[in-house]
Amino acid sequence: MIKSLYVRTVLVFIAVVIVSLLFAFFLATWLYSNSIKSLGEEQLIATGKRIIEMIRKEPGTGDSARLEEVKSDILLPGLKVNIVDEHGAVVKFSSEVSRVAQIPITSEQYEHVIKGGIYRGLVKAKAEDRHGPDQLLIGLPFEYRDRSYALFISPEINELLDVFRRVMLTVLGSVLAMGSLLILLASRFIVKPLQRLTRATKRMAQGDFGIVLQSKRKDELGVLTASFNEMARSLRMLDEMRSDFVNNVAHEFQSPLTSITGFTKALRTKPMNEAERRHYLTIIEEESQRLARLCANLLRLSVLQQDLRPAHPASYRLDEQIRRIIIASEPQWSAKQLEFDLELPDMTIYADEDSLDQVWHNLISNSIKFSKDKGSIGITLEERDGMAVVTVRDHGKGIPPEEQQHIFTPFYKVDKSRDYAVKGNGLGLSIVKRIVQLHHGKIGVTSVPDQETAFSVKLPLHPAWLGS
């Protein structure tokens, strides 16, 4: 039970309330004790002076009247009052003897007052109670019938203190009870969204990515809920991509395997001449090569996804590499009577030459495939802000705007019906994008349907991982 966040939150809040109340109580006592003491002393001195005036105005029985004959009802209730004569004897004290004891007065206190001084200090409520609370004590000198006396006055505040303690305990208990109740409600309000997130997380762990949590909160819990919804949306898209990937892989494998199986069966069972047999064998060979390319590309993409940086970086001439790839592609572009418009200034780059071979080969091959016969392909190389920028531009059918954001997705094909001279499987641009990312570069595409398509690759000339 104690492991519950709700219980922990409530216990922590209650502990904070208790500690805060105790701290406030002691802080208030410390801050106001001196002020209360000074105010009490002044009030006791004023009260003592009134008592002395009342004693002096009390009519005696003659010149030989003694202070003991003064009526006790002039002594105010709620106060301890001791009157000590010049010989140190207590001649009068508060009348409520059963309830109020005499004030424990020391000889030093008596001597100070009887000589005409005013005493201000503290005294124990009971002389034998060393650990009891201190009480105010005021001593005032006065004369009555030509004799010297000392009036000691101390407030009888035990009952007041008891009342004060009960009031404070009542206030503290009420605050604690009300605070605990509010904390119970507030904690439930705080923990409830977390409980919803926990249940949603368990559903997500079971494969349900269609969860959407509603929340109008703008605080941290609202941000957490929004982040959870974003994560659920990303996982849902990833799951859809995974499903599509599996379906595409199955489809790409199924098509050539079906062809191979069908033509193999035809070779085994159907009578045919040598030309037909060679034709079927050629188709089987092409489909087998298609499967081999597909497996190689899948393996290549899988390896690239695990890599964190280029495998074998080195300095080399980027312009010469692009020229070499163009020359190697001559059979394809010669067959379509294409021309190249090149702007390749001398430029050295630090990168993995073998990986970038695949990038330029794929982009140039795509440009050749999608270009119109007797058209042209433009390739430019320039340095911009410490980056090598390569642009490959063809003037073919182009890519529709709604398709451009998907072309780097594995197995995605803009035109699924076309049969290109060099058949593709929709993995080339995915591999290209990953290689560029490993080099801390960027790749983008711009296209105008039926006019042109331009792929732009930006690669750092001096990458950040050079010294790592």
Give the model confidence (pLDDT) of 186-207 as tens digits.
777 777 777 788 888 888 888 7
Residue type, 184: L
Burial class of residue 3 in the structure, from the number of CB atoms within 10 Å of its CB (0-12 exposed, 13-18 middle, 19+ buried): exposed
Low-confidence winner among 106-115, 155-164, 366-375 (lowest mean pLDDT):
155-164
Which tokens is 103 given?
A: 């004030």
Angle at CA of residue 278, ends 274 and 283, nearest 5°: 150
List, in sequence order, every beta strand (DSSP E) within 101-258.
119-124, 134-144, 147-155
Helix or strand or coil: residue 386? coil
In this prediction, residue 318 has a pLDDT band, given cuts at 50, 70 and 90, of very high
Task: Report which of 170, 179, 134 is spatially closest to residue 19, judged by C-alpha positions.
Answer: 179
DSSP letters for 192-224? HHHHHHHHHHHHHHTT-----------SHHHHH
Rg of the chain over Cα atoms, rounded to whole angstroms, equals 50
DSSP letters for 32-44? HHHHHHHHHHHHH
CA 22 centroid distance within chain? 32
By DSSP bridging, strand 376-384 and strand 339-343 are: parallel
Which tokens is 78 given?
A: 């709620």
d(CA 267, CA 276): 9
Q: Is the pLDDT reported for residue 420 higher than 80? A: no
DSSP letters for 306-368? H-SS-SSEEEEEHHHHHHHHHHHTHHHHHHTT-EEEEE----EEEEEHHHHHHHHHHHHHHHH
Distances (CA, A) of 65 to 62, 69, 416: 5, 7, 131
DSSP letters for 19-84? HHHHHHHHHHHHHHHHHHHHHHHHHHHHHHHHHHHHHHHS--SSTT--GGGS-GGGSPTTEEEEEE
Average pLDDT, the chain: 77
List domains and CATH numbers for the chain: 5-57+70-162 (3.30.450), 220-289 (1.10.287), 310-467 (3.30.565.10)
Can you give the pLDDT at residue 287? 81
**Count of CB atoms within 10 A of residue 86's CB?**
11
Evaluate if pTM is beyond 0.85: no
pLDDT per position as a tens digit, 427-462: 778 888 888 888 889 999 988 888 889 999 999 987
d(CA 303, CA 313): 17
pLDDT per position as a tens digit, 363-407: 998 889 888 888 899 999 999 888 999 999 998 888 888 787 778
d(CA 296, CA 276): 30
DSSP letters for 274-312? HHHHHHHHHHHHHHHHHHHHHHHHHHHHHHHHH-SS-SS
Which tokens is 45 given?
A: 């001195």
**Count of CB atoms within 10 A of residue 452's CB?**
17
Per cent of the chain over pLDDT 70 is 75
pLDDT per position as a tens digit, 1-21: 456 666 777 777 778 778 877
Task: Report which of 342, 410, 405 is spatially closest to residue 377, judged by C-alpha positions.
Answer: 342
Can you give the pLDDT at residue 130? 55
Can you give the pLDDT at residue 171? 76
d(CA 231, CA 267): 53
- Residue 170 has phi, psi (to 5 degrees) of -65, -45
Residues 6+ apart with CB under 8 A from 385: none
